């Protein structure tokens, strides 16, 4: 069963993780205090979203540092869906960013009715998300000095060292 939500002004827009580095599950969290949705995603999706938000914000007025406040991540019981595509736009008239998150389609099934969540956020919320996303991504496993792949606590099979 597909889900559709449209948040005209989200109170919450953040990312979070559950688990230890190497076995973390990433989530995007959007919504309102009494209607919070968690969307399962990949670390790379969070990182890419931060890059795209920053790129969009380059052409918008600067955000005052005092208005940047990160949303708190609430550990979810479950994810409403796994993230597929992401849409991003900037509404100059309302001075808001519009994001649409769509569920990943299993094996590109044309009959699949994907869940969608659309959310409008402020520039300050976008800046706070980007700063928080950077910290989440950096908190993972350190990269190998030779190949750049993530290293486990006990090392890894480095393709450049074989």
> pTM, whole model, 2 decimals?
0.85
pLDDT at site 14: 95
The whole-number pLDDT of residue 8 equals: 93
CATH number of 4-138: 3.30.2450
Residue ranges in the chain whose pLDDT is less than 70: 1, 108, 162
Predicted local distance difference test score (pLDDT) of residue 22:
79
Length of the chain, in residues: 162
Q: What is the pLDDT of residue 93?
A: 92
pLDDT value, residue 117: 97
Residue 128: per-residue pLDDT: 94
């Amino acid at each position: 069963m597909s889900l559709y939500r449209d948040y005209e002004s989200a109170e919450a827009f953040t990312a979070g993780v559950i688990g230890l580095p190497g076995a973390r599950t990433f989530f995007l969290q959007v919504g309102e205090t009494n209607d919070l949705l968690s969307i399962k995603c990949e670390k790379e999706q969070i990182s890419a979203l931060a890059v795209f938000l920053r790129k969009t914000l380059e052409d918008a007025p600067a955000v005052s540092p005092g208005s940047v406040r990160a949303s708190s991540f609430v550990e979810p019981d479950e994810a409403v869906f796994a993230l597929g595509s992401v849409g991003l736009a900037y509404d100059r008239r309302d001075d808001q960013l519009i994001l649409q998150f769509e569920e990943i389609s299993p094996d590109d099934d044309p009959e699949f009715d994907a869940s969608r969540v659309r959310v409008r956020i402020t520039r300050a919320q976008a800046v706070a998300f980007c700063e928080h996303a950077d910290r989440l991504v950096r908190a993972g496993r350190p990269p190998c000095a030779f190949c750049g792949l993530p290293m486990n606590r006990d090392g890894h099979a480095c393709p450049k060292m074989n």
